[in-house]
Structure 1
Amino acid sequence: MAELHSGGNDTKAGTLTAQQSSADTADLLAGVGALASLVAGSLGLPELLTEVAGFAVRAIPGADGAGVTLLQADQPGDTIEALAASAPFVAEIDHVQYVTLNEGPCITAVQEGRTVRSGFLGGEDMWPLFGPHVSDMGIHSALSLPLLMPGKVIGAINVYAHGKGVFDEHAAGLGELFAKPAAVAVHNAQILSQALALTVQLRAALSVRPVIDQAIGLLRGRSGLSAEDALAQLRAMSQSEHRKMVDIAQSILDEAVRRARARRNRT
């Protein structure tokens, strides 16, 4: 279950009533059901992550706001990047955590692959800079849930509350139950987003290839170069002029058209 890291009391007085427990479970089931509908939807990755953040607020008792961060494994050092927030104050907190201070519960959750919670951020020893800073903003409780896929962490859900000691073991347990299908939804959305980006790149490549091929043909016709040497010449021109190769190729074609028109006008 959740692991406790707090500089102060992180428990709620009293015990959950059966009615409250039933209501919390209903909220969780509603959130999980909403996640299932997202997987089959047509939202882009940023929009889907924003929806996940909103569902987390409703599914986790006591939450005032939530954000979703992803681990960008293709960047140096596996950068953690905040990509969605349910409210402006969440985006502000995450900016402080990732950009300003580079410390906080989500960073710990992602790096260690475990749930992290605190009910007294102002006195939190684990994040001596982040805790007091966020406490001054009126946020005293945090719950960070890693998004786990087999063998790896892909990101985290960060949940915040204004009160102290808000996220007890019950809330953390519900959060962990929510984070499991959330990780699947986010991972599938990532795969789809990457596939769509690759499709766009391939279409772009296919659209520029005829221009490059025609330019290679012109260079070969003028100088007798082989196809490989003509392509190498295009690359060299691109590097020396700091321009895209397709732009160099288009310039060669445009110049050939101008010369052809000039010849026709002289006859």
Structure 2
Amino acid sequence: MTSREQLLASTFVSLADTLVADFDVIDFLHTLASRSVELLDADAAGIMLADRHGDLHVMASSAEEARLLELYELQNNEGPCLDCFRSGRSVARDDPPAMRASWPAFTEQLQGLGFHSAQALPMRLREETIGALNLFRIEPGRLSATDREIGQAMADVATVGLIQERAIAASELLATQLQTALSSRVQLEQAKGVLAQRAGLRMDAAFQVMRAYARSHNHRLSDVAAQVIDGSLDDDQIRQGPHPTPSAAPRT
């Protein structure tokens, strides 16, 4: 196995390993950018990712020049990375005249920084495009077919890893929210029992009293329940508090 093949294998392992506890998305993307330069016939690389609103942001670059070019694309709404993200397909031009015909301002900026070729590969899984990998070359012309295939494979693996990491993070957040809700419900049931016993109320009446107090004071029902349990909320105070208005609702 050649050193390039070894580096390629190592890169795919790194890009697939997003399940570690200390996963760092910025470091992950910088790995993709730097390895793209090492493995492909490119002199610089940059990565843009979309936020949940679909707006692109510069996330990583192998060199400052690449970062500046990507920022220029966003600021001027022109360039291969934007076209790639919008279409979900790779974008390239054969030579500087063809580039100037498509992206006149961007091409001038590109050449001003010493590059003569720019192309973009989509970071896409099926129908979902989450960003694009920009590749810049000092020499004009496209990447070779082999390099394009390798670059796209790297972008694909990175995309799968990122989407997987996002799904796990969302799942963990949902699980945390559910556990919080369950804990709050247990606490509420406990508070109902405490108030019912102390104030001589039925359980359903105790709940209505706490709910009315939460509404009229714009408190979370879970917070009122906690105060009932620890005794910091006086029973008479909660029973004699102002009645809620029809439009009021407790914050949960």
TM-score using structure 1 length? 0.62
> What is aligned with 1:145?
121
> What is aligned with 1:154?
130
Q: Distance in 1 between matches of 2:213 and 2:66?
A: 49
Structure 2: 5+ residue runs without aligned partners? Answer: 236-252
> What is aligned with 1:32?
12
Q: Distance in 2 between matches of 1:30 and 1:128?
A: 38
Going from structure 1 to structure 2, the CA distance change for 1:178 and 1:217 (only over 3 Å counts) comes to: same
Q: Are 1:126 and 2:102 counterparts?
A: yes
Shift of 1:116: 1.1
Aligned residues: 228
CA deviation vs aligned residue, 1:88-125 (integer Å, no higher than 9, x gap): 54444434433x23333222112111111256499633
Shift of 1:259: 3.9
Q: Distance in 2 between matches of 1:92 and 1:45?
A: 23
Going from structure 1 to structure 2, the CA distance change for 1:217 and 1:173 (only over 3 Å counts) comes to: same
> What is aligned with 1:190?
166
Q: Are 1:113 and 2:55 counterparts?
A: no
Q: Distance in 2 between matches of 1:204 and 1:66?
A: 40
Q: Distance in 2 between matches of 1:215 and 1:121?
A: 74
Query: Comparing 81-90 with 151-160, which one deviates more in the overlay?
Result: 81-90
1:47-196 superposed matches below 5 A: 47-69=27-49, 71-72=50-51, 75-76=52-53, 78-98=54-74, 100-118=75-93, 120=96, 124-161=100-137, 163-165=138-140, 167-170=142-145, 171-196=147-172
Relative CO higher for 1 or 2, CA cutoff 8 Å, sep ≥ 6? 1
Aligned-residue identity in percent: 21
Match of 1:44 among 23, 28, 42: 23
Shift of 1:133: 4.0
Shift of 1:60: 1.8
Q: Distance in 2 between matches of 1:246 and 1:198?
A: 19
The answer as to whether partners of 1:121 and 1:140 remain within 8 angstroms in 2 is: no
Q: Distance in 2 between matches of 1:226 and 1:130?
A: 69
TM-score using structure 2 length? 0.65
Q: Distance in 1 between matches of 2:157 and 2:195?
A: 56
The answer as to whether partners of 1:122 and 1:133 remain within 8 angstroms in 2 is: no
Aligned amino acid, residue 82 of structure 2:
I
Q: What value does the CA root-mean-square deviation take over the aligned residues?
A: 4.0
Q: Distance in 1 between matches of 2:71 and 2:222?
A: 39
Q: Distance in 2 between matches of 1:114 and 1:143?
A: 11
Going from structure 1 to structure 2, the CA distance change for 1:137 and 1:210 (only over 3 Å counts) comes to: farther
Structure 1: 5+ residue runs without aligned partners? Answer: 1-21, 261-267
Q: Distance in 1 between matches of 2:110 and 2:205?
A: 65
CA deviation vs aligned residue, 1:159-203 (integer Å, no higher than 9, x gap): 234x24164334334322333333333332232232233334334
Match of 1:257 among 228, 232, 236: 232
The answer as to whether partners of 1:49 and 1:68 remain within 8 angstroms in 2 is: no
The answer as to whether partners of 1:122 and 1:140 remain within 8 angstroms in 2 is: no
